[in-house]
Amino acid sequence: MSALMPSVPRVDAGATVSVSAAGRLHLGFLDPSGTLGRRFGSLGLMVDHFQTEVVIASAARDEWHADSAAAAAQLDRAIAHVQRLREQCGRGAPLALRLRSVLPAHAGLGSGTQLALAVGRAFARWQGLDVPTPTLAAWLDRGRRSGIGIAGFDQGGLLVDGGPSADGTPAPLLARMALPEAWRIVVVLDPRLQGLSGALEAGAIAALPPFARTEAAELCHQVLMRVLPGAADGAFAPFAAGINRMQELLGTHFAPAQGGSPLTSASVGRLLQWVRAQAGDQAATGQSSWGPTGFAIVPSAAAAQRLLDDARAAGVIDPALALHVVAARNRGATVRSATAR
């Protein structure tokens, strides 16, 4: 059992705690091979509309519920997280857990980390424990490569992490800022496919050739001198140019693990290639993590609507794709407690 955590006032018997965690886009690693001395490092963005929602309440005995088929498919993972949390903090009171909604699994939206942290935060709040999110992530074995989902759970926004240390310490958060409120993200989902995860992901990364030192240096420059200043100043063109160059370099590097393509889904790839040709640096396009989810960040809701209208007229949207226009989420997860009467 771990050392005792500081306590906050324990919730009353019969209390219910709900946690809603947003999806995230992983916009790219900074140094996938560590050729500059520290491996990974990530740029990411939390987005609205997509969410995992977990509810925990007191019960006479353990109860596990899911409100949809997608949630039912992830229920075993949630149960395993509860058991691990009980081992870590030494508190095993019975509870009722309900998954109201979940992020699509293995789609590039950070479903695994957000589920773990939503369960972890709901459990900790229900038990009256003041446990930092990075500690919950460590207990639940999250954040081995990227810290974006962990920091994003707490703060939302556009985030940069410094990659995990050589001893496995989770990646530190280096920068966080709000994305301009007017900007929009067209999120493109291909429900027919899933990205790599777990052992397959680790094996794919290990099989790739080293990422060139000069290209890692360029990625760092793009983030530090184009992406972050563009977001801070509300200057869309340099922000988009930086994202597009990052995606170009990383797409080429990861293509051998994705059937030779920079994007996992051919349908997503065709649409985003058309967007790049039409919009240039008035759209930041690419793939989140291993996909298949793609994205196009544009400067306004009107620009997003024009883009979709023109893409439909051009016939470049595969009917099987699901497209959503969303805003950046510039705040952390929502945590609510209520006492039964």
pLDDT at position 145 is 84
Decide if pLDDT at 252 tops 70.
Answer: yes
| Cα 109 to Cα 51: distance, rounded to the nearest angstrom | 9
Burial classification of residue 4, based on how many CB atoms lie within 10 Å of its CB (0-12 exposed, 13-18 middle, 19 or more buried): exposed
pLDDT on residue 143: 84
pLDDT, mean of residues 141-154? 92
Quick one: average pLDDT of 64-86? 98
46-69 pLDDT per residue, tens? 999 999 999 999 999 999 999 999
DSSP H helical ranges for 128-197: 133-139, 148-155
Tens of pLDDT, residues 269-303: 999 999 999 999 999 999 999 999 999 999 999 99
Q: Is the pLDDT of residue 11 over 70?
A: no
Which pLDDT score, from 0 to 100, does residue 8 have?
Answer: 47
Provide the whole-model pTM: 0.93
What share of the chain in percent tops pLDDT 90? 89
**What pLDDT is recorded for position 310?**
98
Kindly give the residue spans of alpha helices, DSSP state H, lying in 90-212: 111-127, 133-139, 148-155, 198-207
Structure tokens at 79: 């149960």
Tens digits of residue pLDDT in 152-190: 999 999 999 999 988 878 899 999 999 999 999 999 999
Q: What is the per-residue pLDDT for 13?
A: 46
Residues 249 and 30: beta-carbon distance below 8 Å: no
Residue 258, token pair as written in the block: 């994705």
d(C-alpha 220, C-alpha 227), whole Å: 10
